[in-house]
Amino acid sequence: MATFHPLRVAEVARETSDSVVVSFEVPSELTEAFSFEAGQYLTLRTTIDGEDVRRSYSLCSAPRDGKWQVGIKKVPGGKFSTFANDVLQAGTEMDVMDPQGRFLLKEGAGLHHLGMAAGSGITPILSQIKQVLSEDASATYTLFYSNKTAASTMFREELQDLKDRFLDRLRVFYLLTREPVDADLLSGRLDQARCKGLLETFCQGRSLDAAYLCGPEAMIMSCKDALVEAGMAEGDVKFELFTSAGAAKPKAKVVETSNANTVPMQVVLDGVTTSIELDKDKNMLDAALDAGLDAPYSCLGGVCCTCRAKMVEGKASMNVNYALEPGEVERGYVLACQAHVEGEGAVVLDFDQQ
């Protein structure tokens, strides 16, 4: 089961004026728990102004680096990202959950991978580029990376080093939205029309085996449409959403309800089964948390998969699901923060079955 572990912050290094790279020290007894695949994320937890704040950050280091690093871009008014950029220092101990996530590289040798990232969306993609190009000498990668300005572009130097190292196998095209660029096609947002233009201009005649999208929701959805229109199978277009319109909603208010509106629920967590009454208007994560259980969660908006659990008994529907694959849903997995019971039957929800 996903669990928090106290880790020491080894370094907080400035990356751009509004982003930092935070490195964690993982003691040898935890290296197995913290082993990860390129594209996965860590959930960090701290207390800010007396409030328990937890947020997810994709690992930007590659598994083969033996490092655990995340890049955090400051969101105006954002609680955690402001804390990380302005307050967090090396030596601090922080609760970090073992790596989670399903935004993974497609398996296979000699593939041509395509990444499309905007802003901090570069983090999981950077990890994937480093991993796949180092591990597979026949893999190639094309990256389209959009930012407001050159100065606000995270990991520009590291990408340049990678380009020098993998001269024939890595291509990086920078798009800027608030600064002039020589080529019209690289000037402006990554929307469907621009994505189509980029594919026609820079990827014509090349196979596109897998695409990875990370950035704002609108960019992801429009680029996904363009890639499918260009002939890619939907299953080969993977994406990671950092936030969505519905993300980080406050927890549902606890209201007194009559028994008629509840069904019996059993929650399996850390090997222990707890029986509670599930209010049918409430999502299953809130029900577990309100019962005092320390169930794992992070975004509360169906974007990450930290609260993934298996419906062992009963039926549920999800308000939104940006994180689980169709096959996982078929096998009974739900995002507990989005799961509502369907019907009158009893429910068994297992957080331990990963």
Ligand X SMILES: Cc1cc2nc3c(=O)[nH]c(=O)nc-3n(C[C@H](O)[C@H](O)[C@H](O)COP(=O)(O)OP(=O)(O)OC[C@H]3O[C@@H](n4cnc5c(N)ncnc54)[C@H](O)[C@@H]3O)c2cc1C
Interacting residue ranges for ligand X, rule: CB under 6 A: 41, 55-58, 70-73, 75, 77-82, 101, 120, 123, 240, 242-243, 248, 299, 303-304
Residues paired with residue 253 on neighbouring β-strands, in sequence order: none
What is the nearest approach in angstroms of ligand X to the Cβ of residue 189?
14
What is the nearest approach in angstroms of ligand X to the Cβ of residue 175?
17
- CA–CA distance from 119 to each of 36, 100, 133, 159 (Å)? 23, 21, 22, 14
CB atoms within 10 A of CB 191: 17
Residue by residue, DSSP assigns 28-55 as: GGGTTTT---TT-EEEEEEEETTEEEEE
Q: Which residue is nearest to ligand X (CB)?
A: 78
Nearer to ligand X, 39 or 314 (CB): 39
What is the nearest approach in angstroms of ligand X to the Cβ of residue 19?
7
Nearer to ligand X, 100 or 140 (CB): 100
Q: Which residues contact 45 (CB under 8 A, 6 or more apart)?
A: 4, 52, 53, 54, 94, 95, 96, 97
Nearer to ligand X, 80 or 145 (CB): 80
What is the nearest approach in angstroms of ligand X to the Cβ of residue 81?
3
What is the nearest approach in angstroms of ligand X to the Cβ of residue 216?
7
Nearer to ligand X, 208 or 304 (CB): 304
Nearer to ligand X, 56 or 140 (CB): 56
Q: Quick check: 284 and 316 in contact, CB under 8 A?
A: yes
Nearer to ligand X, 139 or 305 (CB): 305
d(Cα 326, Cα 23) in Å, to the nearest integer?
Answer: 34
What is the nearest approach in angstroms of ligand X to the Cβ of residue 264?
32
What is the nearest approach in angstroms of ligand X to the Cβ of residue 152?
12
DSSP tag of 121: G
CB atoms within 10 A of CB 185: 15
d(Cα 66, Cα 26) in Å, to the nearest integer?
Answer: 10
Secondary structure string (H, E, C) spanning 261-313: HEEEEEEEECCEEEEEEEECCCCHHHHHHHCCCCCCCCCCCCCCCCCEEEEEE
Nearer to ligand X, 191 or 281 (CB): 191
Closest of 25, 34, 26, 27 to residue 2, by C-alpha: 34
Nearer to ligand X, 72 or 94 (CB): 72
What crossing angle do the helices spanning 156-165 and 122-135 adopt, rounded to 10°?
Answer: 20
What is the nearest approach in angstroms of ligand X to the Cβ of residue 77?
5
Q: Which residues contact 53 (CB under 8 A, 6 or more apart)?
A: 45, 46, 47, 79, 80, 83
